[in-house]
Amino acid sequence: MGWDRVISVISSSYVPNRLIDHEHCLGQALDQERFEDRLALDHLGVDDVLSLLDYSAYFSLSRTPLPEDRSHIIDAIRAAGLAMYDTSVGWAITNLGAVLFCKKFDHFPSLSRKALRVVTYRGENRVEAIREQVSGRGYAVGFDQMIQYVMEQIENGLGRSNSEIPEVVLRELIANALIHQDFTLCGTGPVVEIFDDRVEITNPGQPLIPRERFVDSPP
């Protein structure tokens, strides 16, 4: 089996409204607060927020000049929804801020299992794992580094040319697995598994449409 077949097992995808089950609709109706707006860590000070988040990466990725004044930095982070302030909890980092720009997932107990994990196996099954790498950084700040690591595992670990799997393909599949996961499942996270004959990408959650209809299902 050649490297021209890259298997991606994506557990979530775009879901047609007509196929959303009633239980899921009811849950969404009862929970009006979006996951990204919830608090990952609260009762913090300004210094805590700035030390836990890679705010310089936020300004770099958003192509915005980094303010020289700390007050303008925290104001920008707050305006972007990465942090918030409330008199009852003080400063807090939102799930959005933590998932995308945290320096270490371990600093956020409710999100620690959401770090991307890459496992390389010998052969075509899961009998022998050669190595495992967990990205401790937020998805936005750690994405390029983990993509490079995956490409290196394919080339060095398996003796394959990384040109046989275009990097753009892996970037697209892994990015979709990160974003289209069920974030309410706290005990598990996205995983990239590298075998001799394939790459499997999985994420938490169950698809609401049959997997075989991902390609031709209406958006």
Q: What is the pLDDT along the chain (219 residues), one digit of tens a residue?
A: 443 343 333 333 333 444 444 455 455 545 567 899 999 999 999 999 999 999 999 999 999 999 999 999 999 999 999 999 999 999 999 999 999 999 999 999 999 999 999 999 999 999 999 999 999 999 999 999 999 999 999 887 555 544 478 899 999 999 999 999 999 888 899 999 999 888 999 999 887 788 788 788 887
Q: What is the maximal distance between C-alpha atoms in the chain?
A: 60
pLDDT at 26: 52
- In whole angstroms, give the CA distance from residue 168 to residue 151: 11
Residue 47 contacts by C-beta under 8 Å, 6 or more apart in sequence? none
Using alpha carbons, select from 80, 83, 76, 78 the residue that is nearest to residue 40: 83
The residues that bridge with 93 in the sheet, in sequence order, are 41, 83
Pairing of strands 117-121, 191-194: parallel
- In whole angstroms, give the CA distance from residue 10 to residue 200: 9
Tokens of 119: 């496992």
Residue 84 contacts by C-beta under 8 Å, 6 or more apart in sequence? 39, 78, 91, 92, 94
- Helix, strand, coil share of the chain (percent; to 5): 40, 15, 40
- In whole angstroms, give the CA distance from residue 77 to residue 82: 5
Q: 3-state DSSP call for residue 217?
A: coil
Residues 35, 183 contacting (CB under 8 angstroms): yes
- In whole angstroms, give the CA distance from residue 120 to residue 136: 18
Sheet harboring 117-121: ordered strands across? Answer: 129-134, 117-121, 191-194, 199-202
- In whole angstroms, give the CA distance from residue 26 to residue 34: 14
